[in-house]
Chains A and B, each alone.
Chain A
Amino acid sequence: MENIKILKGFKPRLAGMPDISVIQAEAPETIAVPAMDIPYIRPRLLVKENDLVKTGTPLFCDKRNNCIVYTSPGTGIVKQIVFGKRRRLKEVVIALDKKDDFIRFETLPRDSINTIPKSKIVKLLQEGGLWQSFREFPFKDTAGENRRPPMIIVSLNGNDPFSPHPEVVLENNKDYFEFGIKLLKRFSEQIIITSRKSSLEKLNKFKNHITHIVPDFYPAWDPGVVLYYLKKFPAENHSWCISVQHLILVAKFLLTGIYPVKRIITVTRPNNKKPHVVTRQGAPVKDLVGSLDDNLFITTGRFNGRAVGRESHMGFFENTLALIPDNQKEVLFGFIQPGLTKPTASRTFLSCLTRAPKTLDCNLHGEERACINCGYCTNICPNDLAPSFIMKALSSDDIEDALSYGLLDCCRCGLCSYACPSKIELTEILSHGMDAHYKDKE
């Protein structure tokens, strides 16, 4: 096990860290496959409203590659197909039947993993709607099946500081996990498995598999950050990554031949150690958060998730619900208060002297101003980017400069926007820059 030395990131302790107890969620009445959390997808629907679907029936595919399908995580009737602005597919909602009816896929014998042709594995995973678990850098797009990635990074921790604890995910899944690692070795020579330092003590059974340890602050465990610190050659920019939960799903699918529907997610709210929840993929948000009396804002990751309404459902890639307090109070002379409890990356609040856990809320804490070149974004960027300079290059349409400054190394962790005292939407600007470049290349 090697330590990766990462110095920059979000260091304050946060209130509400979930413990590792697990509760079983009640079976939901509806589930859905949202398209909003899937990067760059151009969906083509394969079902109509009121169609009958089984668990494993393809609901929509990606027009860029028709082999990539998103399958139904439940059996029932397509209740509604929800479109957003400009008829963009938001989600396909399914009203569940009492009983699951699985589509049977071909299974792989456990000991054949080293001999079976790779193309067959790919084909099976694509049919089963799990190939997209592999994501390819630099855009974190669905992995190209014909490429041989120089490195595959498996992150044991999710996108949020409070994503499910790897111990909870791996428990009773040791076989699948080890099968998954063997599978990855068919695709690449270099398999990187990283864990947060704090997760390690409960992972004794898996320690021999973990190759790298990362520090315990966000976003050190993000595969994009890990890649930045490990890569030595430009070719490694096209490495792949997969989350541990998806790796287990892939292994389960190949060994059992049915689409695995169970997911472990965390629902975190301030000052409440809400444990992990076992539920079905695509469970409705309103079932998971319960009744909300507080004014809470629901996201699938406080730094880099998406905002979801109570009527939405959990996405294929999402495994956490972060409930952020939303108190829009205007405080008299708010800009000059001592701030004993305010979380900050600066040293301008008394809170920087205490180690007490802080609560993040979803207010801007100020108004947007021009960039004053203060360098707070550079000081917090885990991948050593200078977001303000990239932002300036992008706003003058100088994509070449932006790329040479390292735009594609951006892992969209959101910390530059977080730290900016001028409240500039740096992450959004950089993200748009990357997306524009992606479309150019296409």
Chain B
Amino acid sequence: MNPFKQLIDSAEKHFTGSGKLKMLEPLFDATKTFFFFPSHRTRHIPFARDSLDLKRFMSFVIISLLPVLVFGIYNTGFQEGLARGESYSFGHAFLLGSKYVIPIIIVSYAVGFFWEILFASIRKHKISEGLLVTGLLFPLTLPATIPLWQVALGISFGVVIGKEVFGGTGRNFLNPALTGRAFLFFSYPVSMSGGVWVTAKSAVDGISGATALSVLAPEGEKISSALSNSGFTLSKLFFGFVPGSIGETSALLCILGALFLIITRIANFRIIIGGIAGLIVTSVIFYLVPGHSDSWMHAGPLYHLCAGGFLFGISFMATDPVSAPGTNPGRWIFGFLIGFLTITIRVANPAFVEGTMLAILFMNVFAPLLDYGVIKYKASKRIPNV
């Protein structure tokens, strides 16, 4: 027999029954089932069950995030190099980036799991896999310069207030990772806005460490040319070699992750396509409004799509099934309105240059209402059977 399995089996008695560490049973159980996939026999009909379970479901989200994560780490180092006026090799930039990003992820997971284990132990239920995703999504929405204590505070708020107080994974109506980010954004605006997006103070003129969304064109100049002048060409924004949150910068890799999630049907394509459609329609409408050629109102759909965290948000945050609607028409509306609200906030409210987070959280609140409407409508179309 596998010696590792023997170790786990021999430890089991301490965590179950009247063992000394009974309190930590959820932790033990999570560890055990992580390594050794449990296989219980079905007790009720149907006797056969699908091979997909929640562990695999959540693992697939992690897999889809890996390209974004690796690039985010590299880009952190790369941006520091740019700011210092030096050009780092990939390895160097990656190592440098890891120095900033890895501690943030470790703190996020450690503090998140602490709360999860605490609540699972008190409530005597199993540790849910939802935190695997939340714990990685949250750091990817932060600037690499964030102080670690704020990471700990943010994930605590996200997990406890965003999720556990409502009963844990599956019962939260807000996306926990975004709840944590919103908490930090409003509580510590200094760490979350302005020039925090690059890890080194600029030694080179013209690099401010701000994101593309905070660019404003001088009087009479077009926003697109102002963006290119500040180093935000469309191709740079698309490939992601710009300052921003760790995970959000590369539109290309976000699309890749989204495609993976759509093909494996972990994420619902309706939300993603609906969101992109909403963004395009809204930005085109604003584009057609005369005047304002110097602001983001006139940036057009491509810049809106590639700049900021929209693609990251719509691919990984909005598609969180728990906080999204559970009906297909609801999902289309949900996605579309996220796109619409993102542009509206970006254009109409200069205090919040990044609208995605607020748009998704706002629509999370409305998801149950969308579901309610769709379900009632569908019920009215059924031939009544009572």
Contacts of A372 in B (CB 8 A): 54, 57, 130, 169-170, 321-322
Complex Cα–Cα for A306 and B43 (A) = 10
Chain B min CB distance to A158 (Å): 15
Chain B min CB distance to A370 (Å): 3
Q: Given A347-B265, A408-B385, does the pair A305, B45 have CB atoms closer than 8 Å?
A: yes
Stretch at the interface among A91-99, A147-155, A329-337: A329-337
Closest to A351 in B: B51
Partner of A417 from B49, B60, B169, B321 at Cβ < 8 Å: B49
Q: Given A378-B326, A408-B385, does the pair A428, B265 have CB atoms closer than 8 Å?
A: no
Stretch at the interface among B31-39, B226-234, B300-308: B31-39
Majority secondary structure of chain B interface residues (helix, strand, loop or mixed): loop
CB <8 Å contact, A374 and B46: no
Complex Cα–Cα for A304 and B47 (A) = 8
Contacts of A406 in B (CB 8 A): 379, 382, 385
Taking the complex as formed, is B264 at the interface, i.e. its CB lies under 8 A from any CB of chain A? yes
Chain B min CB distance to A402 (Å): 10
Closest to B40 in A: A364
Partner of B59 from A232, A336, A364 at Cβ < 8 Å: A336
Q: Could you list 9 A-B pairs, sorted by A, with CB under 8 Å?
A: A346-B50, A348-B60, A348-B264, A372-B321, A373-B322, A375-B328, A407-B385, A414-B45, A420-B50
Chain B min CB distance to A38 (Å): 16
CB <8 Å contact, B39 and A329: yes
Taking the complex as formed, is B129 at the interface, i.e. its CB lies under 8 A from any CB of chain A? yes
Closest to B326 in A: A373
Complex Cα–Cα for A406 and B385 (A) = 7
Q: Given A237-B383, A369-B129, A404-B379, does the pair A335, B53 have CB atoms closer than 8 Å?
A: yes
Chain A min CB distance to B175 (Å): 12
B246-261 vs A, CB cutoff 8 Å, 1 = contact: the mask equals 0000000000000000
Complex A-B, nearest 8 residue pairs according to Cβ-Cβ distance, in ascending order = A334-B37, A366-B53, A370-B170, A414-B46, A360-B48, A335-B55, A342-B51, A330-B36
Complex Cα–Cα for A347 and B350 (A) = 42
Contacts of A332 in B (CB 8 A): 2, 4-5, 35-37
Taking the complex as formed, is A106 at the interface, i.e. its CB lies under 8 A from any CB of chain B? no
Closest to A349 in B: B51
CB <8 Å contact, A362 and B42: yes
A-B contact count (CB 8 A): 227
Complex Cα–Cα for A339 and B52 (A) = 10
Complex Cα–Cα for A409 and B328 (A) = 20
CB <8 Å contact, A344 and B50: yes
Partner of A375 from B57, B326, B382 at Cβ < 8 Å: B326
Q: Given A370-B168, A375-B326, A405-B375, does the pair A365, B53 have CB atoms closer than 8 Å?
A: yes
Complex Cα–Cα for A420 and B38 (A) = 16
Complex Cα–Cα for A370 and B385 (A) = 29
Q: Given A406-B385, A409-B385, does the pair A324, B47 have CB atoms closer than 8 Å?
A: yes
Majority secondary structure of chain A interface residues (helix, strand, loop or mixed): loop
Taking the complex as formed, is B266 at the interface, i.e. its CB lies under 8 A from any CB of chain A? yes
Contacts of A423 in B (CB 8 A): 49, 53-54
A262-297 vs B, CB cutoff 8 Å, 1 = contact: the mask equals 000000000000000000000000000000000001
B323-355 vs A, CB cutoff 8 Å, 1 = contact: the mask equals 011111000000000000000000000000000
Contacts of B385 in A (CB 8 A): 138, 234, 237, 403, 406-409
Chain B min CB distance to A342 (Å): 4
Contacts of B371 in A (CB 8 A): 389
Complex Cα–Cα for A423 and B294 (A) = 54
**Which residue of A367, A372, A407 has the most chain B CB atoms within 10 A of its CB atom?**
A372
In this complex, the interface size class of chain B, counting residues with CB under 8 Å from chain A, is: 35 or more
B313-326 vs A, CB cutoff 8 Å, 1 = contact: the mask equals 00000000110111
Chain B min CB distance to A107 (Å): 39
Closest to A336 in B: B59
Contacts of A40 in B (CB 8 A): none
Contacts of A388 in B (CB 8 A): 326
Contacts of A361 in B (CB 8 A): 48
B residues 105-158 in Cβ contact with A at 8 Å: 126, 128-130
CB <8 Å contact, A366 and B55: yes
Closest to B322 in A: A372
Contacts of A365 in B (CB 8 A): 39, 49-53
CB <8 Å contact, B47 and A299: yes
Q: Please give 11 more A-B residue pairs, beta carbons under 8 A apart, in addition to A370-B170, A404-B384, A422-B170.
A: A232-B383, A332-B35, A344-B51, A362-B41, A372-B170, A386-B378, A412-B45, A417-B44, A418-B48, A423-B49, A423-B54
CB <8 Å contact, B47 and A339: no
Chain B min CB distance to A324 (Å): 6
In this complex, the interface size class of chain A, counting residues with CB under 8 Å from chain B, is: 35 or more
Chain A min CB distance to B22 (Å): 19
Contacts of A378 in B (CB 8 A): 326-327
Closest to A362 in B: B47
Contacts of B2 in A (CB 8 A): 332
Q: Given A303-B45, A347-B263, A348-B266, does the pair A419, B50 have CB atoms closer than 8 Å?
A: yes
Closest to A344 in B: B51
Taking the complex as formed, is A183 at the interface, i.e. its CB lies under 8 A from any CB of chain B? no
Taking the complex as formed, is A427 at the interface, i.e. its CB lies under 8 A from any CB of chain B? yes
Complex Cα–Cα for A133 and B29 (A) = 49
Taking the complex as formed, is B171 at the interface, i.e. its CB lies under 8 A from any CB of chain A? yes
Partner of A370 from B42, B169, B265, B328 at Cβ < 8 Å: B169
Taking the complex as formed, is B56 at the interface, i.e. its CB lies under 8 A from any CB of chain A? yes
Taking the complex as formed, is B224 at the interface, i.e. its CB lies under 8 A from any CB of chain A? no
B residues 346-386 in Cβ contact with A at 8 Å: 371, 375, 378-379, 382-386
Taking the complex as formed, is B179 at the interface, i.e. its CB lies under 8 A from any CB of chain A? no
Taking the complex as formed, is B245 at the interface, i.e. its CB lies under 8 A from any CB of chain A? no
Contacts of B52 in A (CB 8 A): 344-346, 348-349, 365-366, 376, 421
Partner of B39 from A330, A343, A344, A375 at Cβ < 8 Å: A330
Taking the complex as formed, is B268 at the interface, i.e. its CB lies under 8 A from any CB of chain A? yes
CB <8 Å contact, A297 and B59: no
Taking the complex as formed, is A47 at the interface, i.e. its CB lies under 8 A from any CB of chain B? no
Contacts of B44 in A (CB 8 A): 417, 425, 427-428
Chain B min CB distance to A315 (Å): 15
CB <8 Å contact, A418 and B321: no
Chain B min CB distance to A423 (Å): 7
Taking the complex as formed, is A363 at the interface, i.e. its CB lies under 8 A from any CB of chain B? yes
Contacts of A376 in B (CB 8 A): 50, 52
Contacts of B375 in A (CB 8 A): 386, 389, 405
A residues 374-394 in Cβ contact with B at 8 Å: 374-376, 378, 384, 386, 388-389
Chain B min CB distance to A356 (Å): 15
Complex Cα–Cα for A297 and B39 (A) = 15
Complex Cα–Cα for A349 and B51 (A) = 8
Taking the complex as formed, is A436 at the interface, i.e. its CB lies under 8 A from any CB of chain B? no
B residues 281-321 in Cβ contact with A at 8 Å: 321
Taking the complex as formed, is A190 at the interface, i.e. its CB lies under 8 A from any CB of chain B? no
